[in-house]
Structure 1
Amino acid sequence: MFLTDLQKIGVGLTSFGGLFTLLGVVLFFDASLLALGNLLFLTGLVLLIGLQKTVVFFTRPYKLRGTLCFLGGITLVLLKYTFIGFIVECIGFLNLFGSFFPVILNFLRQLPVIGSVLNLPLISTVANKLAGSRQSPV
């Protein structure tokens, strides 16, 4: 499956959103970087999957708690309560996107260098518990 030009831009914006969020955390919860990371992430998500699918994703009844925490965290970051806002936002992010972690973990395991590191005994056990996936040792 090929990505359209808008989806390619969406992947880039989402990646830059993650990068700016990471920089905001590393630089002692800088409110400007965290806010810019949130804006880029949400814009990239809309370009990546479309506006209608984004609205449907965030308004599902069983994801409502995650949506409220995520948007409330963004609001707290914008109001300069960066540490508390980031914690609330992380809780919402995990509620919204937690079901994708096993898929991401399986993808990372197929990469050459990262996959061999993730398949080490201790790291594999921890990664499986974090992702919530259960793989039987064969």
Structure 2
Amino acid sequence: MVALSDFQRIGVGLVGFGLFFILFGILLYFDSVLLALGNLLFLSGLVFIIGFKRTFSFFFQRSKMKGSSFFLGGVIIVLMRWPLLGMLLEAYGFINLFRSIPHHLPTPAGSFFPVAFGFLGSMVNIPLLSKLLQKVGDSSSMV
């Protein structure tokens, strides 16, 4: 179990609420206010979790500048109330931010997505969640 500080716990809550508002904003046909609130909560939660300096250095690395500019530009476009275009830019920027690291850089090889999918695959080992997934999987409803 990873010990979290109080700031990191607040950050996890902010990221969770941010993702909820983004999902809810998408479900309500790209409601610009919900998407903007979700983006702001998500980014502020990220700052609470990893700190301002590390967040800044993550987004403004030379190798990630294209993805960062699309992602942060998408956030600004959503804040300007053009939600569909902003979310498309954010999605493209997100994919560029977390894709595999170029081989010519001296950073460790690997990618965010395989690690994230491996984590999601290991979530079936969480006791409460595994019972929930079993009940959902056993449901034979055709509705």
TM-score by length of 2: 0.76
Query: How far apart, CA to CA, are the structure 2 residues paired with 1:33 and 1:48?
Result: 22
- For structure 1, the 5+ residue unaligned runs are 118-138
Structure 1 partner of 2:59: 58
Largest Rg, 1 or 2: 2
Identity %: 48
TM-score by length of 1: 0.79
Structure 1 moving runs of 4+ over 3 Å: none
Structure 2 partner of 1:82: 83
Q: 1:40 deviation in Å?
A: 0.3
Structure 2 partner of 1:16: 17
Give the secondary-structure state (helix, strand or coil) at the position aligned to 1:107.
helix
Q: 1:97 deviation in Å?
A: 2.8
Query: How far apart, CA to CA, are the structure 2 residues paired with 1:21 and 1:57?
Result: 22
Query: How far apart, CA to CA, are the structure 1 residues paired with 2:55 and 2:4?
Result: 17
- For structure 2, the 5+ residue unaligned runs are 100-110, 125-129, 135-143
Query: How far apart, CA to CA, are the structure 1 residues paired with 2:35 and 2:43?
Result: 12
CA RMSD of aligned residues (A): 1.7
Structure richer in helix, relative to its length: 1
| Residue 72 of structure 2 is aligned to residue 71 of structure 1 | yes
Structure 1 partner of 2:8: 7
Structure 1 partner of 2:102: none
